[in-house]
Amino acid sequence: MATEIKFEIVKAIGVLSESAKGWKKEINLVKWNDRDPKYDIRDWSPEHDKMGKGVTLTEEEAKKLKELL
């Protein structure tokens, strides 16, 4: 049995790309399972009810990524 994942998009930051099927690769600030919000990059369905695999970053990791880019 799959465990339900709770999430709340605290702040929508932006869309990086969109697929032909309407899924969008987004960067958002997301609370996962009632934990502190993290920066999150992943694909989302148009209704935000389904998601693809992604990566979460702490604020420090996001700053480091910005420096590296």
> What digits encode the pLDDT tens for the residues 44-64?
999 999 999 999 999 999 999
Instruction: Lay out the sheet containing 38-44: strands in order across.
Output: 7-18, 24-32, 38-44, 51-57
pLDDT exceeds cutoff 70 at 1: no
* CATH 3.40.1400.10 is held by the domain 7-68: no
pLDDT exceeds cutoff 90 at 17: yes
Question: What is the rounded radius of gyration, in angstroms, for the C-alpha atoms of the chain?
Answer: 13
- d(C-alpha 62, C-alpha 66), whole Å: 6
pTM, entire model: 0.88
Percent of the chain topping pLDDT 90: 93
Q: Give alpha helix (H) positions in 14-69.
A: 59-68
Q: What is the pLDDT of residue 4?
A: 84
